[in-house]
Structure 1
């Protein structure tokens, strides 16, 4: 079972938040606000925050820019993970990934199923890695953002979480780029 090892020091990480929506403005971004609030409440840093329309190339370009920025460790997007024609966030993420974190979508679906039943099959939440940066695509509802953060990401972004966590392997995500 997972636990917090109090003998280790908490290490804050820098997280960028991207809301993908054709209709939301900053004052209506409840999902982005939910994520930003939880990130800061956990002791991490909101390194940047943007809202983009559902345009695959623009989303992928922003993800790449953040992955190439040395002051960003994680990118979390919200919105555009559904099944409609304009939902292209997952495709944009996969355009950027070097490696996909397959179990993230599976675990998110299990958690969602407990909350919303079979409607969970309509989400395509995903996670991956590029250039030493974690990327996660979450559905666009505040509830889905709460579930992903509270049930998965909060623990995985806590260096003290055992038996393992994303933070402890963060320095090794891009080791293949440094090999000679």
Structure 2
């Protein structure tokens, strides 16, 4: 049974950034980043920034800080680097900078993921929160995880959460 949120009072396009964190992906092989972009655009939102970063904590933090200063971005979606392998540092880099966290995002993502992949879902460190009045999501880099997170959690709440941050 899927519950739908109350409809948003205003329909609006949210200005988003898509950041893939990977040591191996290129713009030609980044299926997950492109999927996020496509799902956002299909839902009527805009992607004003896209990049691929190496899984280096200093680089991830630097990009988050730079995008936090941009007035044209309202939501940032990171994908990749959320596991526990030595090179998975996205969670560690972002979580320490979040001013507020949305624990329910990670909890519900892991619950939904568990329904699809079983106990492997516990390895995900998906997280969401707020930084510099911007909504931040950090999700695993697999296309299945991206589809799950964006379609079932991010898109249904994106306008509502951004509106709360900007006072719409």
Same fold flag (TM > 0.5): yes
The count of residues paired between Structure 1 and Structure 2 equals 166
Tell me how far apart the structure 1 counterparts of residues 116 and 151 of structure 2 sit (CA, whole Å).
Answer: 13
| Structure 1 residue 96: Cα displacement | 1.8
| Structure 1 residue 99: Cα displacement | 1.1
Contact in 2 for aligned 1:22/1:52 (Cα 8 Å): yes
SS state at 2:28 partner: helix
Structure 1 residue ranges, 4+ long, deviating more than 4 angstroms after superposition: none
Contact in 2 for aligned 1:42/1:154 (Cα 8 Å): yes
Unpaired runs of 5+ residues, structure 1, are: 159-164, 173-180
Tell me how far apart the structure 2 counterparts of residues 5 and 115 of structure 1 sit (CA, whole Å).
Answer: 27
- TM-score calculated relative to the size of structure 1: 0.88
Tell me the residue number matched to 1:90: 91
Tell me the residue number matched to 1:147: 148
SS state at 1:129 partner: strand
Contact in 2 for aligned 1:60/1:95 (Cα 8 Å): no
| Structure 1 residue 157: Cα displacement | 1.4
| Structure 1 residue 5: Cα displacement | 3.3
Contact in 1 for aligned 2:32/2:146 (Cα 8 Å): yes
Tell me the residue number matched to 2:121: 120
Tell me how far apart the structure 1 counterparts of residues 165 and 69 of structure 2 sit (CA, whole Å).
Answer: 15
Q: 1:56-95: per-residue Cα shift (whole Å, max 9, x none)?
A: 0100110111111000000000000001111000011113
Tell me how far apart the structure 2 counterparts of residues 141 and 22 of structure 1 sit (CA, whole Å).
Answer: 14
The 5 Å alignment of 1:30-179 reads 30-158=31-159, 165-172=160-167
- TM-score calculated relative to the size of structure 2: 0.94
Tell me the C-alpha RMSD between the 2 structures. Answer: 1.6
Contact in 2 for aligned 1:34/1:142 (Cα 8 Å): yes
Tell me how far apart the structure 1 counterparts of residues 127 and 47 of structure 2 sit (CA, whole Å).
Answer: 20
Tell me how far apart the structure 1 counterparts of residues 20 and 112 of structure 2 sit (CA, whole Å).
Answer: 22
